[in-house]
Structure 1
Amino acid sequence: MSKQKENAHHPFYEETIGTKSIFEGRMISLQVDTVRLPNGETATREIVRHPGAVAVVAIMDGKMLVVEQFRKPLDKAQVEIPAGKLDAGEEPEAAARRELEEETGFRARSMRRLNSFSTSPGFADEIIHIYYTDDLEQGEAHLDDEEFLTCEAITIEQAQRYIEEGKICDAKTLLAVYAWRLHTLTGSF
């Protein structure tokens, strides 16, 4: 059953009655949908379509692997966990393994899914799948042609300092730091 049919009986359901494509890029597309509201009126919804992404909480010798790269939308460098978008037809775990090695030079011998979350459900359909590993072996980093970053392994205290300094401010990395802290304190996620 499609999500649309599955959700059609919800009292706040908004039926799509028209879609206009505005932009088709290599990473995202933008569309404007006309919807029928629960009260019968119509409204427009601007929607960013994204193929989805993965991110990896990779722990090595009690430290978390992070990368620093420039993020043009924020116009500053950010420290983040290894992450990237799903390729067409790619399974999330395969993408997580690929991104981890591409960005850090480490391979996960084993990995487990922690959770998946929507990044901005008010206007985007992007879902990020978060994976965890502490079972790493040396691999080979191979960045994309347009990707410039450095990798480091940080302690929980360094991560907290980066959060306070604004070097870590994205949702996936904040989630990773708090999940790592929880795991360190309790032994579980």
Structure 2
Amino acid sequence: MDDSDDLAWETLGSAVDYTCPGFDVRRDEVRFPDGEADGFHYVDEPPAVVVLPLTPDGDAVVIDEWRQAVGRVNRGIPAGTMEPEDGDGGADGGASDATDPSDDAIERAAARELAEETGYEADSFERLTTVEPTNGMANAVHHHVLATGCEPTADRDLDHNESISVETVPYDDLLAAVVDDELRDGRAVTAVLWYELLHR
């Protein structure tokens, strides 16, 4: 962008105000283009993978999970943080260290999250897109992946704070839920729409 220098904020300092499993809350001291300075808080989290799993018959593997922030069970698809063993950075490296990991690293993370949350394994993986879903308030990067040929061959390994049930639904039903505003999970909506753009 030609005017990016005119819009840029200068970071004068940065510190973590609060840390917890999964993310930090960071405060940057910044100077705005007009010369005034202030603090800016945001969520700082490692990069994550989001997996759209399809069975050999073309059904979608979905999860229903309790989401405390909104106080309800939410339908979605497997997702989780990239880990250091995936390569190209990960949970210990911070989001800024692994915003563009290799396809192999993303595939390893996608395979792990798919198995842990659903008990399914896939024949193949394909990156759909990479997005910054909430870059007005979070340093978060989500790598969306299509997983095909998914079969229930693995044991689930849920985290202590995950309450998840697994179901398969016709893909067209999942798409209809997106179109009809019934699917509220933004990560799942993004994955379905990119699948439509690239493959349908």
Q: Do both proteins adopt the same fold according to a TM-score greater than 0.5, normalized to the shorter chain? A: yes
- Tell me the secondary structure at the aligned position of residue 5 of structure 2: coil
Report the counterpart of residue 166 of structure 2 in structure 1: 151
* 1:73-152 matched pairs, under 5 angstroms: 73-88=69-84, 89-90=89-90, 91-137=105-151, 138-152=153-167
Deviations 1:16-74 (Å, cap 9, x if unpaired)?
11224210111111121111112222132111100121111111111111100100001
Secondary structure of the 2:165 match is strand
Quote how far apart the aligned CAs of 1:147 are.
1.8
Aligned residue in 2 for 1:13: 8
Identify the residue that residue 50 of structure 2 maps to in structure 1. Answer: 55
Answering whether residue 194 of structure 2 is matched by residue 179 of structure 1, we say yes
Change (3 A) 1:17 1:165: closer
Quick check: 172-181 or 72-81, which moved more? 172-181
Counterpart position of 1:3: none
AA of the residue aligned to 1:141: R
Q: 2:128·2:195 contact (CA, 8 Å) conserved in 1? A: no
Q: Could you say if the C-alpha distance between residues 76 and 68 of structure 1 is closer, same or farther in structure 2, counting changes exceeding 3 Å?
A: same
SS in 2 for 1:139: coil
Aligned residues: 176
Identity of aligned residues (%): 28
Q: Mark the runs of 5 or more structure 1 residues left unpaired by the alignment.
A: 1-8
TM-score (norm 2): 0.79
Cα distance in 1 for partners of 2:161, 2:28 equals 33
Give the C-alpha shift of residue 122 in structure 1: 0.5
Give the TM-score, by structure 1 length.
0.83
**1:111/1:135 contact within 8 Å kept:** no
C-alpha distance in structure 1 between counterparts of 2:17 and 2:9, whole Å: 20
In structure 2, the residue matched to 1:6 is none
Is the 2:128–2:194 contact (alpha carbons within 8 Å) kept by the matching residues of 1? no
CA distance in 2, matches of 1:92, 1:184: 20
- 8 Å CA contact 1:156, 1:177 repeated in 2: no
User: Which residue number in structure 2 is paired with residue 35 of structure 1?
Assistant: 30
Residues in 1 aligned to 2:141 and 2:35: alpha-carbon distance in whole angstroms: 30
SS at match of 1:47: strand
The gaps in structure 2 that reach 5 residues or longer are 91-104
The structural deviation recorded for 1:93 is 2.2
Cα deviation for residue 184 of structure 1 reads: 5.4
1: CA distance between counterparts of 2:156 and 2:40? 40
Q: Highest relative contact order (Cα 8 Å, sep 6+), 1 or 2?
A: 2
Q: Which runs of 4+ in 1 moved over 6 A?
A: none
